[in-house]
Structure 1
């Protein structure tokens, strides 16, 4: 059974080599469609054995991805972006799932490296090379719509999900977003699509979340609510629509939290938790729900939520940090100290964790160790050019502590 890599690129010399190395021994062919690179992207792709084709960029990712799909010859297709890498541990599970003759689509878990909110997402990137499957949506292009259409005509097809992380993605760190001006490009493309399809739940979800993240919360909520009305209940929807409904509730929880409407936020987080999606995908919801409970005084509930996160992913430094805050608020200083130390072990540049650890150590009577920890916090803040460094220095000075 032949597997083909299918991807579109433009000026990706910084990341393309690592991406192709992660998959070149897994796939039988690599199809790379260049949309106007002016750097060494094409040379790198050719050096690593990819079949490179060319296409003039038209501001529509679906059109470009469908053009790339024209050159694929494999039985199955895996889609990657240049800032993604396939994890080798997932390959045996992929091959096993591809043997299922009734399977049309295999959803994969993607690790969003550096994501401030949800560290994992579900992406429809592995699918059978079928003549009726194609990409839609000019931004965040996906094959899900065509899969849904095919299922309407041939309900014998199945959609599978792999429960292990398959892809690591570094394109949504703050640095990457700023460098590529992704906010503006994404908003422009999706607004244009919504002018033609004003109630499309998927686009409402993606664009609404984008606006919430960029601070345009009212517009974000408006779009997310419109999208929610378009997918009323997962119990009566098609399987491909369930992840969209989950994201709508999840992002509404974030939006309402940011404007101080705790009751609405809680309702949407609980609805998101109810969705039949893989537990990994719900990590952001559990974590944010814990934050909400902590803010509203339910410390015990927050501890349960953070503990749930860590049971799913014990490597998530933010969850250890949040659990530390909850234990500190409950007066359990030693438990808090342990959590802060674990957060720092997982993320040595976690300035806030150093600061909170310093506070907890000071309250526990470990003055000298707390001062060393505060120094570490200030160093990390200064490396990040954060004004928190000066604020912490001033606070310690007012307390009579010398750093």
Structure 2
């Protein structure tokens, strides 16, 4: 079975080589469609032996993706973005799934690296088939066309790999031209929503974006509208998750908890529900239900023992319960997994100070301040001021 990598890129010189190196020896050809790069993206792609084709950008990600499919010669297609890599350990299972006679597409788990964004499950490997194409101009996917194909030819099925196959770094603040990407996303999604006003998927995506931009009224209306028409578990999860976040921000904690519980009730891979578990735990912690919050954080750790945020949240809860030594252990585990976790260093310092270990607490505070300063975060000054008022600043 021949496998073709199909990508669309624009100004990706910082990450493209790492992405292409991750599939070397796995794919039989690399197709790169460039939508207008002005940096060294094209040169890097060619140096990595990829075939590069130009595409005039038309504010439609699906159109660009479908252009890349035209050049593929493999039996199967793998789709990656330049800020993603294929996890080596996933390759044997992926190759085995491609040998299945009835598999039409393979859903891969994508891990978000270095952020608190939830993982996702995406149909990123699929047979080269004339009926399979990308739809939706933003947050483009093949799922709509695969669903239609399965209705016409029910002998096919979608296979889901259980372990992380893609690692994504694109949500890290340092790698985002935030304003440009947000404006582009809003423009494209608004155009699509105008043409498809009842599409629950786009209601979820655009509604969440509006809320992030401070337009709470329009955002809430879209999320609620999405709930009226959504039928797919993944879309229902997102809608409930975003509504939980909205009501949590508004301090309407009972409603937030209801939506997070509804999100977790969806029949999805547990990794995809980590965000709802953690956020529901946060709501319960704020409500004073520390035992239940603790149980939820322990669930997140059981689902993903490598997730730093679960240990951090568990540490906060244990500290609130007065279990300082246990909290210290959890903060340390979070830091081992994510050394740049400034808040974990800061709260470790607080717990150590309360436990009477002043020297170790000052070291933790110092590390937190250094990390906050690297991240240009205002917490660095706030922490310095707090330590100064405590009479500890001179010790740093």
| TM-score, normalising length: structure 2 | 0.95
SS of match in other structure, 2:134: coil
Change (3 A) 1:8 1:368: closer
Given the alignment of the two structures, is residue 358 of structure 1 paired with residue 357 of structure 2, yes or no?
A: no
The residue number in structure 2 matching 1:254 is 245
Q: Which one of the candidate residues 376, 387, 392 is aligned to 1:385?
A: 376
Cα deviation, residue 39, structure 1? 2.1
Change (3 A) 1:216 1:173: farther
For residues 208 and 87 of structure 2, the distance between their equivalents in structure 1, rounded to whole angstroms, comes to: 27
Contact 2:114 2:338 in 1 (8 A): no
Contact 1:104 1:158 in 2 (8 A): yes
The residue number in structure 2 matching 1:294 is 285
The residue number in structure 1 matching 2:257 is 266
For residues 52 and 367 of structure 1, the distance between their equivalents in structure 2, rounded to whole angstroms, comes to: 58
SS of match in other structure, 2:237: helix
Q: 99-108 or 369-378, which moves further after superposition?
A: 369-378
The residue number in structure 2 matching 1:130 is 129
The residue number in structure 2 matching 1:46 is 46
Cα deviation, residue 179, structure 1? 5.2
The residue number in structure 2 matching 1:315 is 306
For residues 36 and 334 of structure 1, the distance between their equivalents in structure 2, rounded to whole angstroms, comes to: 55
The residue number in structure 2 matching 1:213 is 212
Q: 204-213 or 252-261, which moves further after superposition?
A: 204-213
The residue number in structure 2 matching 1:234 is none
For residues 34 and 376 of structure 2, the distance between their equivalents in structure 1, rounded to whole angstroms, comes to: 37
Contact 2:87 2:166 in 1 (8 A): yes
Change (3 A) 1:305 1:193: same
The residue number in structure 2 matching 1:375 is 366
Contact 1:220 1:255 in 2 (8 A): no
Contact 1:112 1:169 in 2 (8 A): yes
Given the alignment of the two structures, is residue 349 of structure 1 paired with residue 340 of structure 2, yes or no?
A: yes
Change (3 A) 1:49 1:368: closer
The residue number in structure 2 matching 1:88 is 88
Change (3 A) 1:327 1:130: same
For residues 5 and 90 of structure 1, the distance between their equivalents in structure 2, rounded to whole angstroms, comes to: 16
Cα deviation, residue 38, structure 1? 2.2
Deviations 1:89-108 (A, max 9, x none): 11111111111111111111
Q: 217-226 or 251-260, which moves further after superposition?
A: 217-226
SS of match in other structure, 1:52: strand
SS of match in other structure, 1:181: helix
For residues 143 and 23 of structure 2, the distance between their equivalents in structure 1, rounded to whole angstroms, comes to: 23
Query: Aligned residue pairs: how many?
Result: 394
Change (3 A) 1:213 1:115: farther
Aligned 1:3-402 pairs, distance under 5 A: 3-118=3-118, 120-178=119-177, 181-231=180-230, 237=231, 241-401=232-392, 402=394
RMSD over equivalenced CA pairs, Å: 1.6
For residues 138 and 112 of structure 1, the distance between their equivalents in structure 2, rounded to whole angstroms, comes to: 23
Deviations 1:351-396 (A, max 9, x none): 2222212221222122232233223322322333333233223223
SS of match in other structure, 2:261: helix
SS of match in other structure, 2:177: helix
For residues 99 and 375 of structure 2, the distance between their equivalents in structure 1, rounded to whole angstroms, comes to: 48
Cα deviation, residue 259, structure 1? 1.3
Contact 1:6 1:32 in 2 (8 A): yes
Contact 1:24 1:30 in 2 (8 A): no
For residues 78 and 324 of structure 2, the distance between their equivalents in structure 1, rounded to whole angstroms, comes to: 48
| TM-score, normalising length: structure 1 | 0.94
Deviations 1:161-215 (A, max 9, x none): 1111011111112232335721111111000000110111111122222223333
For residues 322 and 36 of structure 2, the distance between their equivalents in structure 1, rounded to whole angstroms, comes to: 58
Query: Which structure 1 residue ranges, 5 or more long, are not aligned?
Result: 232-236
Cα deviation, residue 156, structure 1? 2.1
Runs of 4 or more, structure 1, over 6 Å off, are: none
Contact 2:11 2:39 in 1 (8 A): yes
For residues 358 and 314 of structure 2, the distance between their equivalents in structure 1, rounded to whole angstroms, comes to: 23
Cα deviation, residue 4, structure 1? 0.8
